Amino acid sequence: MPELMTRTGTRGEPAVDPDDVTIAYIGGGSRQWAPNLIQDLAQSPLDGEVRLYDAVPESAERNARFGNWVDDRPEATADWSYEATDSLPDALAGADIVITSTQYDPAETFVHDLDIPQEYGIHGAVAATIGPGGILRAMRTIPQYREFAAAIREHCPDAWVFNYTNPVHFVTRAMYDEFPEINAIGLCHEVLGTRHRLARYAREELGMDADREDVSVNVKGINHFTWVDEARCKGVDLWPVLEDLLESDHAYQRFTPEDLEGESVFTDNWQVTWELFRRFGVLPAAGDRHLIEYATWFMADGVEGLNRWGVRRTGSDYRAKHWTPAESDQTTDVEAWLAGEKEFELTDSDETFVDIVLALAGEKTYVTNVNLPNVGQVDGIEEGAVVETNATIRAGEVKPVAAGGFPRPVRSLISGHVDTIETVIEASREGDVDHAFEGFLIDQQIRTLQTDEARELFADLVAAESEYLEDWDLEGSSVLAEAERDLQ
């Protein structure tokens, strides 16, 4: 397999100095990711500076104050400084690492991604990474990330780029499409959650003392639709445990809407996971709320159908409230901590960022799941498409692990989603709305509609979010013109 992502000409030469790391954070005003990162860095063996850039400068300034406040606390063991900037070139200049973590105001975008498809009978549980809502999110995000990739090419072409922005597969693919030599990896914690669950089964079923780091999996697929065909805990094969559990009551649960009242939308009952494992012989490695949007049978009966499998739909009211600090239930509350209105305790996010940076710095070898263009690590999926597998990370190198292929039915499902993603990426090069609609039309959620209904849904979404689609040629679209004529 070709070696991918070698930053330096000399194999094994560290790409990052652990005592002097410069991080540019695009989306540095983040209310969840940035505060978590700040706390992780404060407890790490790394030192350096973080430049926070955000479209809302006061949000970046708030996080810079928080970062320096955390760094001054006695329990912080690292030495970091934080500075907000309203200049993207200044943030990126000479950076070793770039983090991307952005989204548009959900009250103006995300709520439409959820509510408008529902009017057409499509009840997505998340609507963030695939399906009509995920595709519109990709359309409004991809042009911005092309600009980020171009700026990285100009100001820090050798930087390692960590993308957390959804939809991860669309966004990471867009950056490579704009700047093929970029050193970008897409990161997501869904596979980490699966490893946590498998560690729990090792404890409960085998009596092992186990946590996530003790579990290794052979993972492959696309983000939020990954699959595992090998799982071990401290060298012990977990597959017989999974096969036994598959035949138990644990894997045959049914839920009613009443059963799920009061449950978090993030509660994962694993019933979709068990059903797909039962049908195809490989284990899905993402939360059920994401899986159902790629394996669309579970959406067939609307909200009641989701509930039957133990999945609660993320409603637009939740998304809007999550964006409003006074109503949000998220775990970070920077302003209250800074004002002394809420007790602060330095915690660990359980994410992999620090481990990856330490490995790039030559301090360790680390294996974790990442999203990268396919250069052969996944069989049967087209070259260049962004896929998710394990990668071995060491000094100056991220090398994807060969993971093999899939049973034919699973490969068919994944390939269909890759075709949607690649079609939208192709369309984004020229802002071609009609070509993007072709990708929309072949999406597996959309196939439940007649083509004219699909066109109307697409036009409704575009109309509701047109303010965020200025890089697309809306006026030149025949699809949108047809939809408008039908309304007259």
Helix (H, G, I), strand (E, B) or coil at 375: coil
> What's the CA gap between 395 and 138, in Å, rounded?
33
181, containing H or E segment? none
Q: Which residue has the tokens 């309203």?
A: 86
Catalytic residue among 189, 196, 290, 435: 189
> What's the CA gap between 271 and 279, in Å, rounded?
12
Helix (H, G, I), strand (E, B) or coil at 398: strand
C-alpha distances (whole Å) from 239 to each of 141, 218, 281, 283, 413 are 39, 12, 11, 10, 23
Backbone phi, psi, residue 31, to 5° = -90, -15
CA 170, chain centre distance (Å): 10
C-alpha distances (whole Å) from 479 to each of 130, 187, 458 are 21, 34, 9
Q: Is 189 a catalytic residue?
A: yes
Beta bridge partners of 216: 232
> What's the CA gap between 209 and 228, in Å, rounded?
22
DSSP 4: -
Q: Which amino acid is at 451?
A: T
Greatest extent of the chain over all pairs of C-alpha atoms, in Å: 68
> What's the CA gap between 138 and 425, in Å, rounded?
9
Half-sphere exposure of 209 (CA within 13 A, CB side): 0
What is the Cα gyration radius of the chain? 22
> What's the CA gap between 50 and 91, in Å, rounded?
9
Residues 6 or more apart whose CB falls under 8 angstroms from that of 425 comprise 142, 170, 173, 174, 177
Residues 6 or more apart whose CB falls under 8 angstroms from that of 398 comprise 4, 5, 160, 183, 185, 360, 370, 372, 391, 392
Residues 6 or more apart whose CB falls under 8 angstroms from that of 69 comprise 337, 338
For 35-59, b/e burial (b = at least 16 CB within 10 A) is bbbbbbbbbbebbbbbbbbbeeeeb
Q: Which residues have a catalytic role annotated?
A: 189
